[in-house]
Amino acid sequence: MQITVESEDSVNILKEQTKDTNVIAPKDIEIVVSKMKGDEMKHVFNSSTTTSIKGLAENSMAVMSNMMVASRSSPTNQKTKNQIVDSIEHVALLALEHLKNDDETVDFSTEASDVILVKEAASSLSPIGNENIKINLNGSSNIQNLAALIYKDNKAFKPPSNKSRGTSFIAGKVVGLKHTKREGDTTDDSISFKMKFDFPDVNNPDKKPRQKVLKECHFYQPESDSWSTAGCTSTVAEDGSVECECNHMTSFAVILSVEENKVPMWLSNLVLGINVTFCILTLLCTLPFRTFRVRKMTIIQSHSILSLCLLCITWFLMQDLELSESEPAYENTSCKAIAFIAHYFLIATFSWIFCCSLTLKSQIVDAVKSFGKKNKYLVKKCVLFGYGFPLLIPSLAFLMDFLMKKYTTEGQEIHYIQKMACWYEDIWIYSFILFPIYVFFIINIVCFIKIMRVIGNARRSSDGSSQRKVVKAGFALAFTQGLPWVMHPGALTDGAAEVFQYLFLITFGLQGIGLFVFNVLFQEEVLKNLCGLLNVKPPPIFLSVVPSKQRRTPNSQTGETSLGTARNSSGMQTNSTQIT
């Protein structure tokens, strides 16, 4: 193909030569683009002898349109596609600069785009554009003439990337804008305009019920092949259309981000509801009765159950929070506040389990060292740690998020909250949620292994089974509340994320039931107390096999029970202690 751009006639010849886009080679595309973008094209417009610039503009844009169509079927890279877009905008700007006074508006269509060239656009009283795009210029800006290019195919632009979980894509069409400044105006920072995107897939995106959607105005950055929101604000109207207000000219589009929602919302709400219900039932079966309320282990376990209950309530509020379609979730003040509170109660739950396991260990494993000693301030210490330490973790996360945004470039793209959903970003889940939880979980498992070894070596005593149930209840508290978070890293992967999300929900939903079973049904005193109030006999399956006449009733005022004498593997005996 002989490619020359020297005059209007050569442009017309090139238009005919490039009509068959299937035979255009990638090398020819690059040559045409370079010539249409270079000084040759500027010379053609300057030497034009036609009374109207419209014909030359149409033919020039038709050539570039053919290049764009050809690039879709040929193995051209993104850099070449960006150069094609740049050349189209360059030709449009040349045509705009050479419009005659009587050509106030030039409107034509090519295979690649609809072109609108407007003379004295700033003085236009009516919006510029078509039925889907409406542009309003600010009269105080330095825009005089305007070129609008509505691309018919978005394949020339690199698809938007999505760092949050979900799907992002270009909704509607990409609109390229170029302008000439008013005569004598040398400023570059007084551009201001509003553009309304009114496409069907913008107004009514394809999504599942209750699936969150975010609509944002972006502009394309060819040098980095990325989309950015810098300098633009988005407003979503009641009809679903989006209005973009920007302070610069380039290629714009509405990026639609749809939340990844593999697990049904109703299932998540059901799990949270089950946990809240059984947590409340467990607390109602113990705390109203002084016999159990005065026991230190009951107090500690109750605080952990209460924290879990409040955690489920705040999570329910997080996932049902109404988010704006034009505002990212990480900018929503209500979302950030609820997320902070939920983060606090999550760490508080494990802090109280940690207090529970350490208390049991000190009273059973370290029985000899603590014999005869009473820790009068045990509960107060646990309250200080259980509600004080959890405040540190989310506070550090918020502080780290703030410092990264202020002092690092990468930090601008890393947020504590996700973009589309009121939930934590993966990096914060790993560092400020899973890490402290795993530390607590490992310590709890080690403590309970030591405790169960002592209990297993203990000889049968009058109340041994009762004490074993107390320990098992504490172990169940630690294990059932830690197990879901062992599954959670799998839910953050791409391969089997959906499977692990369901496993996480199932194990998380069993927490409330497990706590009720081990702290009420398997606690004989609690069960007998409830059955006595209801005037029914307790089910024999939940009663101890040890005859009642061999059991000692704990002191109702102190809740003291003796562990008895335990023998270790070497035959040595440990002194009796108290579980209070």
- Residue 129: left if φ>0, alpha if ψ -120 to 50, beta else—which one? left
Give the pLDDT mean for 195-202.
86
Please report, rounded to a whole number, the percentage of residues in the chain having pLDDT higher than 70. Answer: 79
Tokens standing for 312?
């489920």
Nearest Cα neighbor of 304 from 316, 327, 325, 287 is 287
Q: Which residue has the higher pLDDT, 175 or 420?
A: 175
pLDDT value at position 479?
Answer: 65
CATH of domain 265-567: 1.20.1070.10
Nearest Cα residue to 280 out of 245, 313, 252, 321 = 313
Cα–Cα dist 255/326, whole Å: 10
Pick the more confident residue, 226 or 547.
Answer: 226
Neighbours of 273 (CB within 10 A): 15
Q: Per-domain residue ranges for the chain?
A: 1-104, 265-567
Q: Which of 68-77, 148-157, 278-287, 297-306 has the lowest mean pLDDT?
A: 68-77
The residues pairing with 242 across neighbouring beta strands, listed in sequence order, are: 197, 236
Q: Contact at 8 Å (CB) between 195 and 175? A: yes
Angle at alpha carbon of residue 278, lines to 272 and 282, rounded to 5° = 145
Are 24 and 3 within 8 A, CB to CB? no
Beta strands in 226-323 (DSSP E): 226-228, 232-236, 242-246, 251-259
Is residue 371 over pLDDT 60?
no
576 phi, psi to nearest 5 deg: -75, 155
**pLDDT at residue 400 greater than cutoff 80:** yes
- DSSP type of residue 459: P
Q: What is the pTM of this model?
A: 0.67
106 phi/psi in degrees, rounded to 5: -120, 125
Secondary structure class of 111 (helix, strand, coil): coil
Q: Which of 102-106, 186-190, 494-498 has the highest mean pLDDT?
A: 494-498
> What mean pLDDT, rounded, does the chain reach?
79
Looking at the predicted structure, is the pLDDT value of residue 353 above 80? Answer: yes
pLDDT of 281 reads 94
The pLDDT value recorded for residue 560 is 39
Give the tens place of pLDDT for each residue, 335-352.
999 999 999 999 999 999
b/e 356-391 (16+ beta carbons within 10 angstroms → b): bbbbbbbbbbebeebeeeeeeebbeebbebbbeebe
Mean pLDDT of 468-491: 68
pLDDT over 60 at 554, yes or no: no
Band (pLDDT 50/70/90 cuts) for residue 121 is confident
Rounded alpha-carbon distances, angstroms, from residue 421 to 277, 324, 424, 450? 26, 11, 8, 42
Of 136-140, 387-391, 518-522, which gets the smallest average pLDDT? Answer: 136-140
Mean pLDDT in residue range 324-329: 80
Burial of residue 70 (CB within 10 Å: 0-12, 13-18, 19+) is: buried
pLDDT band at 327 (very low <50, low <70, confident <90, very high): confident
Is residue 403 a contact partner of residue 458, using CB atoms and an 8 Å limit? no
pLDDT tens string 442-472 = 888 888 788 777 776 664 444 455 555 556 6
The strand pair at 143-151 and 113-118 is best described as antiparallel
d(CA 545, CA 284): 27
- Tokens representing 507 are 């194990």
Per-residue pLDDT band at 103 (split at 50, 70, 90) = low
pLDDT computed for residue 142 by the predictor? 77
Of residues 545 and 301, more confidently modeled? 301
* Predicted local confidence at residue 294, as pLDDT: 83
Task: Give the type of residue at 61.
Answer: M
